[in-house]
Amino acid sequence: MDNKHFNVLFLCTGNTARSIIAEACLNREGQGRFTAFSAGSHPKGTVNPHAIELLKRLNHETSGFRSKSWEEFAVPGAPKMDFVFTVCDQAAAEACPVWPGQPMTAHWGVPDPAAVEGTEPEKALAFADTYRMLSHRISIFVNLPMASLDRLALQKRLTDIGTQG
């Protein structure tokens, strides 16, 4: 299982910041073993400019990011997901579509940096903190010994990662 390629979907409500940041982090850190996607239950249609600015500053490729609906990943012909992670509190409480192949799921909620009101430095700090939390969780995730974990043990590990700061 360690040599297998995995598809991962990060879900949030608006698909403007947290899920986009998670997608960028996993596509960089998991290169070769993981392909990350992101979507929203109620996509806003645009990616938050603070998220794009942060990702560019950290040398992430940002040209392909767009705010999109999770429905794109629940239709025939869409990539089969191995893992689906919610990264905001609202998405965890919403009814998710039935995913083909029964992917592993977990909630990795983080505060919404786009909701922070204040000065530009305060907003930038909120986005940087979100990046730090998600990057840390993704680093743990990509280093899990997938081949040696049964489904139940893997599910526990995925859930536990969501509590990491």
Catalytically active residues, by annotation: 12, 88, 96
Could you give the CA distance from residue 93 to residue 107 in angstroms, rounded to a whole number?
10
Could you give the CA distance from residue 130 to residue 51 in angstroms, rounded to a whole number?
10
The closest alpha carbon to 15, from 86, 54, 75, 68, belongs to: 68
> Residue 1 corresponds to which tokens in the numbers above?
């299982």
For residues 84 and 11, the answer to whether their CB atoms sit within 8 Å is yes
| Residues comprising the chain, all counted | 165
Question: In a 10 Å sphere around its CB, with 0-12 CB exposed, 13-18 middle and 19+ buried, how is residue 84 labelled?
Answer: buried
Could you give the CA distance from residue 101 to residue 70 in angstroms, rounded to a whole number?
16
